[in-house]
Amino acid sequence: MEWIEQYKKRVLSRLISVEPNTLKERIIDSEYYLVSEKIDGFYTVLVSSSNGTSLYNKSGRELKIPAFDKLKFSKPCILVGELCVFENDRPQTHRELAAALAKPSEADIRFAAFDIIELNGNAVEGDAIEKFHVLSSIANQTHCFTIPQQQVSSRTAVEEFYKEIQGKGGEGIIVKAANEMAYKIKPIITLDLVVLGFCEGIQEKAGVVRDLLLGVALEKNEFQIVGTLGTGFTNEERSTFYNALAKMEVSSSYTEVSGAKTAFVMVKPEWVIEVKCLDVLAENSQGSIKKTILNYDTKGYDVKEMAAGVSLVSAVYNRIRTDKSVGLEHTGKEQITDFLSPITSDDKVINLVDSEILLREVYLKESKSGRMVRKMLGLKTNKEKTGLFPPFLVLYTDFSTGRAEPMDQEISWCSSQSAMQDKVNALREEYIKGGWNKVN
């Protein structure tokens, strides 16, 4: 069902996460706002026709829930909403929903509609208020209801509504503006993560940390990558962190590329840092987010597999947690479990295949300051189906004993083998000139 994916890209991808304290500054001025409580559920599409009512998850797979088998509507329709579980007439979290879906006939599972795509075979048009009225007239049953929305006229009123929901123990609110912008207002999320690697600054910023590579702890000395972090550090911290982390370097069969196209240096998993972010996402426009799981021993890191993971929205460094240790208790995956999609039967673990070396060129040059080495490596990754790696890449390494920073690296992603060869040719033309001798 391709249109499910199209809706996610067109509408849900525009949902902006906003910190409550910056609500008035981040939400733009609008003629009106529709505000509603954010319900913690699982993105689902409901399709009602003469053949009955069906539910589909984010991947288009049909969900079988007995309570919806006999659900009927006055007209054929397609609704978008959150599948959620209720207890004492209050929506629960992802964790409770995951347990409920294992035995759906024993739980109060409901569909909370927030948008209508089609009614009686025709696309539903109009502004947010018009669509809400149409939706309310269709989704008005116990197991399929329209999420209540209030119309307010100012950002101050939006802020007051947020405080009201917070007082009731709610997770946050959704705000729809007249200009079709939409916002998710919820408290800042704090996580304790393990530092797995670092990336050094380049040129005038050499000798300081540019980014950190972070992960969560699993069992048996395994870690799952969460993402990279490059904001929130003072200049002094960047320098201090570099001096300390450079001494913790270990080998790794896994390579992560920074935004500066240089490889992260992997380090012993000993540091714990506190990170703040606006949101934690389990899926993007391509579907479920997959992140690499690494094995660690005294020799370094090896890739195990890829599995369902998360990405952080607007992550910022807060502080080092010297009072916490690396392990399940303080830095475990349970911190992000509640954010993962509860239905994972279609989210298969991906076993990674080793990359192939297609091209390798090494050049030497002797100078007064010592030996210089330049190497170009062309790889076929065999991992492009994961959506996280290119089909081919080129790794260029420049080592010179006479420089303050002897090692310099550049990684280029390539879409084809011919593009990989073109990149190698360009590097050779730019960097391999007089005095260089090919040794391999």
Per-residue pLDDT band for 221 (boundaries 50, 70, 90) equals very high
The predicted pLDDT at position 344 comes to: 42
**In a domain? residue 137:** yes
Give yes or no: residues 320 and 361 share one domain. no
pLDDT digits (tens, 9 = 90+) for 377-433: 999 988 877 666 788 999 898 888 777 667 777 888 888 999 999 999 999 999 998
User: Considering 337, 367, 385, which residue would you say is the last residue of a domain?
Assistant: 337
Give yes or no: residues 175 and 217 share one domain. no
In whole angstroms, what is the distance from residue 26 CA to residue 159 CA? 12
Give yes or no: residues 160 and 201 share one domain. no
The CA-atom distances, in angstroms, between 291 and each of 257, 387, 436 are 14, 10, 40
The single residue listed with the structure tokens 């090494």 is: 362
- Entry pTM: 0.64
Give yes or no: residues 70 and 201 share one domain. no
Top pLDDT among 232 and 370 is at 232
- Count the helix, strand and coil residues of the chain and give each as a percent rounded to the nearest 5: 25, 40, 35
**In a domain? residue 345:** no
Domain that holds residue 30: 2-183
Per mean pLDDT, which range of 101-115, 138-152, 339-353, 357-371 is the poorest? Answer: 339-353
**In a domain? residue 342:** no
In whole angstroms, what is the distance from residue 224 CA to residue 244 CA? 23
Q: Which helix (H) or strand (E) holds 99?
A: helix 94-102
For 197, the 3-state DSSP assignment is strand
pLDDT digits (tens, 9 = 90+) for 42-69: 888 999 998 889 998 877 788 889 889 8
* Strands in 282-435 per DSSP E: 283-284, 287-288, 290-297, 300-308, 311-313, 316-320, 356-367, 370-380, 392-400, 407-414
Give yes or no: residues 323 and 268 share one domain. yes
Which CATH number fits the domain that encloses residue 37?
3.30.470.30
pLDDT digits (tens, 9 = 90+) for 277-334: 988 887 664 567 889 999 999 889 999 988 888 888 889 999 999 999 999 999 999 8
Give yes or no: residues 117 and 145 share one domain. yes
The predicted pLDDT at position 227 comes to: 92
> What's the CA dihedral at 207, 209, 211, 215 to 10 degrees?
130
The single residue listed with the structure tokens 């593009």 is: 419
Q: Select from 155, 201, 206, 144 the least CA-distant residue to 178.
A: 155
**In a domain? residue 131:** yes
Residue 224 has pLDDT above 90, yes or no: yes
Which CATH number fits the domain that encloses residue 302?
2.40.50.140
**In a domain? residue 390:** yes
Kind of pairing, strands 300-308 and 290-297?
antiparallel
In whole angstroms, what is the distance from residue 58 CA to residue 65 CA? 16
